[in-house]
Amino acid sequence: MKADFYETLGVHKGADEKELKAAFRKLAMQFHPDRNPGDHACEHKFKEIGEAYETLKDPQKRAAYDRFGHAAFENGGMNGGGQGFGASGFADIFEDIFGDMMGGGRQRRSSGGRERGADLRYNMEISLEEAYAGKTAQIHVPASISCTDCSGSGAKPGTQPVTCTTCAGHGKVRASQGFFSIERTCPSCHGRGQTIKDPCSKCAGQGRVTEERSLSVNIPAGIEDGTRIRLANEGEAGLRGGPAGDLYIFLSVKPHEFFQRDGADLYCKVPISMTTAALGGQFEVATLDGTQTRVKVPEGTQNGRQFRLKSKGMPVLRQPNIGDLYIQVAVETPQNLSKRQRELLEEFEQLSSKDNSPQSSGFFTRMKDFFESFGE
C-alpha cells in the first residue's frame, strides 16, 4: 500500500505551491542519499518524497490524484505508463529546487564510471540599453570538453578501452557473506566496466581536456536583473563519455544613469527651473529606443509632478507589450542670486496673492489655529 502523498510530505490537503515546495525541500535535505550514504530506508523515503512532490506540484496531476488517488497513475490511468520516476526525471526536479544551493560543483554519477560534468556558472553584466534591445553575446567559457584525440574514451588513439576482466564490464562485483550477497564497485576499473591499457596522451586517460570555448548566447529583449539562463549540456563535459553538465548564465543589469526600472516601467527624474515650472515650457528626454520625446510642462507645474510617456518603457519578455516611462519633475530653487534677480523676486513676492500659492498661503494660519486649539 502506497503512502498518501500529502502525508508523505507532511502537508494538509489544501497546501499551496509554496508550502509544498518548502515541505519537499526540507524533507529532501533530510533524506538525501548524499547525507545518508548506504541507508536504504532513507533512499526509499527520498524517492517517495520526490514522487509525491512531482505529482502534487503539477496542478493536473494533483487534481487527478485528489480524485482517484494512486489509481490515477497506474497503467491505463491518466497518462499510461508515463509516470516512471527514473533517476534522471527525479534528478531534474531535484535540480529545480536545489540548483541555487548546490552551486556549480554538483556532479551526478551514472553507471559505468561515466560521470556527468559539473554545472557551470557564468556571471554576465549588461546595460539597460542591452536589456531593452536584447542581444547576442559571445562568451568565452573555460571548460573541460570531451577530448578530441580519443573522442572522450581516454584510450590512446587507435586503441580502445577494453572490458574489465574482474567484473566482466558490469562495474560491480558480488561477494557472498553468509546468506547475503553484497555488491561492490569493481576495484579494478572503479566502476567503469572498462580499463584503459594505453591512456590518451592529450587527456591522460580522463577523456576530457580544459579549453576555452566560445558560445553565443541569446539575451532576449526585456530581460530582468537576476535572471538565470540555462544552457543545457553546455557545462563541463562528462567524464569518460558521461553527459555534459549545464551552463547557467546569471544575468545582472547595470544601474542606469537616468532611468530606474520597475518591471516594464521606467522612471526618470528631470530637474526643471523654477521659472519653467511657473511659466510653463518644454524639454526633451532621450529614451531607450534611441529617439527623443518632447515633454510639455504646463504653467504652474508643481514639484514632483509625474508625466507618463506611454510605451516608452521596457519591453516585456517574449510579449509584444512595452511598459511606460514616467518622468518626474524636480523643481529647482534658484541659488546664487544676483542683486537684480533678488530685487525682481522681492518685487514678485510683494505682488503675490493667495491665488499664486494656494497650498502655502494660509497653511501657517491653519497650523496656528490647530496649536491654539490645545489651550481651549
Annotated binding site: 147, 150, 164, 167, 186, 189, 200, 203
Site membership for Zn ion, residue 32 (CB under 5 A): no
**What binding mask, one character per residue, do residues 127-166 give for Zn ion by CB under 5 A, x or -?**
--------------------x-xx-------------x-x
C-beta closer to Zn ion: residue 171 or 315 = 171
Rounded CA-CA distance 197/165 in Å is: 12
Site membership for Zn ion, residue 185 (CB under 5 A): no
C-beta closer to Zn ion: residue 191 or 323 = 191
φ and ψ of 347, to 5 deg = -65, -40
Q: Which stretch binds Zn ion (CB under 5 A): 70-78, 167-175, 301-309, 327-335?
A: 167-175
Rounded CA-CA distance 24/196 in Å is: 42
Site membership for Zn ion, residue 189 (CB under 5 A): yes
Site membership for Zn ion, residue 237 (CB under 5 A): no
Residue with grid cell 519633475, as numbered in its chain: 329
Site membership for Zn ion, residue 196 (CB under 5 A): no
C-beta closer to Zn ion: residue 131 or 147 = 147
Report in angstroms how near the CB of residue 240 gets to Zn ion at its nearest.
Answer: 10
Q: Which stretch binds Zn ion (CB under 5 A): 20-28, 195-203, 257-265, 321-329?
A: 195-203
Site membership for Zn ion, residue 203 (CB under 5 A): yes
Nearest to 250 by CA among 43, 99, 91: 99
Q: Which stretch binds Zn ion (CB under 5 A): 3-11, 200-208, 277-285, 289-297?
A: 200-208
Angle at 104 between CA 227 and CA 48, to 5 degrees: 90
The count of residues interacting with Zn ion (CB under 5 A) is 12
Rounded CA-CA distance 137/130 in Å is: 10
- C-alpha 123 chain-centroid distance: 12
Q: Which stretch binds Zn ion (CB under 5 A): 63-71, 112-120, 130-138, 198-206?
A: 198-206
Among 23, 143, 186, 217, binds Zn ion (CB under 5 A): 186
Q: Does residue 155 contact residue 199 with C-beta atoms inside 8 Å?
A: yes
Rounded CA-CA distance 298/280 in Å is: 5
Spell out a b/e string for 130-143, using b for 16 or more CB atoms within 10 Å of the CB, else e. Answer: bbbeebeeeeebeb
> Parallel, antiparallel, or unpaired for β 135-146 and 208-219?
antiparallel
Helix (H, G, I), strand (E, B) or coil at 213: strand
Site membership for Zn ion, residue 200 (CB under 5 A): yes
The residues of the shown chain that bind Zn ion, judged by CB under 5 A, are 147, 149-150, 164, 166-167, 186, 188-189, 200, 202-203
